[in-house]
Each structure stands twice: as C-alpha cells, then as structure tokens.
Homo-oligomer: A and B are copies of this chain.
Amino acid sequence: MIFDVKIIISLKSGMLDPEACAIQHALSNLGFETEYLNNSKLYSVGIKADDAESARARAEEMCDRLLANPVIQSYSVEVTE
C-alpha cells in the first residue's frame, strides 16, 4: 500500500532565519506588514509500506539520515493514505 507522507522541516525555535527576515523585509517594502514569517520545507513523499506506522517510521528515518539537519532543524511527519 502507498502512503502519502507529508514531512515538514523547519528551523528549531530560537534559530535566526535570515531568509525569512529578508522575505519579511521585502514584503514590508511592498507595503505588506506581517507579524511574523516562518519558512519551512515541505516534502510530500509516496512510501510503499504495510501500514501507516511503518511508513511513519521509515519517513522519520529518512529525516534523521538525510532530509533534516538534527543540529538546527526539527521535523514533523504526517501520514495519510
């Protein structure tokens, strides 16, 4: 069975996000005031697995080994069928 797994990778709280600051600055130059702006990566991955739990475990392993930098980033995994 193929599960659609949404992986969101964002900077850990407290980390400075220069890209988000630059975007927020550019938006305000265009006249858009924003209270805050957070910037994350969203991966939508198709994983063949027997059940949702094993799809989740494999996605978390992908994050640990490649997709997320454990020092500065955190990730969240959402599995849908």
Chain A residues with CB under 8 Å of chain B are: 2, 8, 10, 23, 26-27, 30, 32-48, 58, 61-62, 65-67
In the complex, the answer to whether A35 meets B42 with C-beta atoms within 8 Å is no
Copies in the complex: 2
**Alpha-carbon distance between A45 and B47 when the two chains are bound, in angstroms:** 30
**Contact A41-B42, Cβ < 8 Å, known A26-B66, A27-B66:** yes
**Contact A41-B39, Cβ < 8 Å, known A30-B66, A67-B23:** yes
**Alpha-carbon distance between A26 and B62 when the two chains are bound, in angstroms:** 10
**Contact A46-B37, Cβ < 8 Å, known A65-B30, A66-B23, A67-B23:** yes
B35, B45, B46: the one contacting A46 at CB < 8 Å is B35
